[in-house]
Amino acid sequence: MLDFSILTDYMDVFLEGFKITIIASFIALICSFILGTLIAVMRIAPFKPLNWIGTVYVEFIRNIPVLVIVFFTYLAFDFGGMTAGIIGLTVYTAAFIAEAIRAGIMSVPRGQMEAARSSGLTYGQAMKSVILPQAIKIVIPPLGNQFINLVKNSSLLAVVAGGDLMYQGDLISASTFSTFDTYIFVGLFYLILTIPLSFGVGFLEKRLARSN
């Protein structure tokens, strides 16, 4: 039987970690979305050196375990655990988001770009006003899944003392010696975050399918 006294006695600690997990995931989401969009545009821009930079970034980052990246940002710079963790997550997630967005951009018919360019818009203007708004629609479902992964991956903040839910769980289990029960509660807290997100993504997917 689960020892619920851990939950009640350490509620404020759990909630502190829960809060940090939400904040870290949210900041990393925004940043990786911006960075990922930039890299996606670099990968398809009509300028070879940019393509190479984008490709190198994606292939390099995607093929390193996220744990290694988080350790690296923590050890290489003098940030605190939370900042280093957020940067590591951002760098990692951006590579996947870039790929999702690139696929979205590629699925917009070529004629859209041609129509925009032939009316005098620059490549950048056409991207921003014509291509990206259409690509985003296609990209939302895979992005949602990336966000859920991001929330789960944020548990890696624990290894660099990032103060997140997993980290607080480590602390609680160390002081109560109820390792099993503590991590069950930690898992439940993650579910509180990820299950609604998962349903949200499913809902968006259905709505977007209808609007097309």
Partner 1 sequence: MISFDKVNKFYGDFQVLKDINLTINKGEVVVVIGPSGSGKSTLLRCINHLEKITDGTLNVNGLSVADKKTDINKLRRNIGMVFQHFYLYPHKTVLENIMLAPRKVLGQSEKEAKELAMYYLDKVGISDKADAFPSQLSGGQQQRVAIARGLVMKPEIMLFDEPTSALDPEMIGEVLDVMKALAKEGMTMVVVTHEMGFAKEVADRIVFMDEGQILEEAVPAEFYENPREERARMFLSRILNH
Closest approach of partner 1 to the CB of residue 147, in Å = 22
Specify the residue, 34 or 115, whose C-beta has the smaller distance to partner 1: 115
**Rounded to 5 degrees, what angle do the CA atoms 200, 202, 211 make?**
100
Site size for partner 1 (CB under 8 A): 18
**What's phi and psi for 94, nearest 5 deg?**
-55, -35
- Residue 207 in contact with partner 1, rule: CB under 8 A: no
- Residue 137 in contact with partner 1, rule: CB under 8 A: yes
Q: How far apart are CA 212 and CA 208, in angstroms?
A: 6
Tell me the C-alpha to C-alpha distance, in Å, between residue 52 and each of 33, 39, 127: 20, 10, 19
- What is the amino acid identity at position 202? G
Closest approach of partner 1 to the CB of residue 133, in Å = 5
- Residue 5 in contact with partner 1, rule: CB under 8 A: no
The residue written with tokens 């760098």 in the block is: 91
Closest approach of partner 1 to the CB of residue 141, in Å = 17
* Size (the chain), residues: 212
Closest approach of partner 1 to the CB of residue 111, in Å = 4
Tell me the C-alpha to C-alpha distance, in Å, between residue 176 and each of 74, 131, 180: 28, 54, 11
Task: Give the per-residue contact string, 93-132, with partner 1 (x = CB under 8 A; - = no).
Answer: ----------------x-xx-xxxxxxxxx--x---xx--
Specify the residue, 49 or 111, whose C-beta has the smaller distance to partner 1: 111
Closest approach of partner 1 to the CB of residue 140, in Å = 13
- Residue 174 in contact with partner 1, rule: CB under 8 A: no
Q: Is 108 left (phi over 0), alpha (psi -120 to 50) or beta?
A: beta
DSSP label at 129?
A: I
Cβ-contact 167, 136 below 8 angstroms: no
HSE toward the beta carbon, residue 59, CA cutoff 13 A: 7
Specify the residue, 109 or 200, whose C-beta has the smaller distance to partner 1: 109
- Residue 133 in contact with partner 1, rule: CB under 8 A: yes
Closest approach of partner 1 to the CB of residue 72, in Å = 40
Query: Under the rule (CB under 8 A), what is the footprint of partner 1?
Result: 109, 111-112, 114-122, 125, 129-130, 133-134, 137
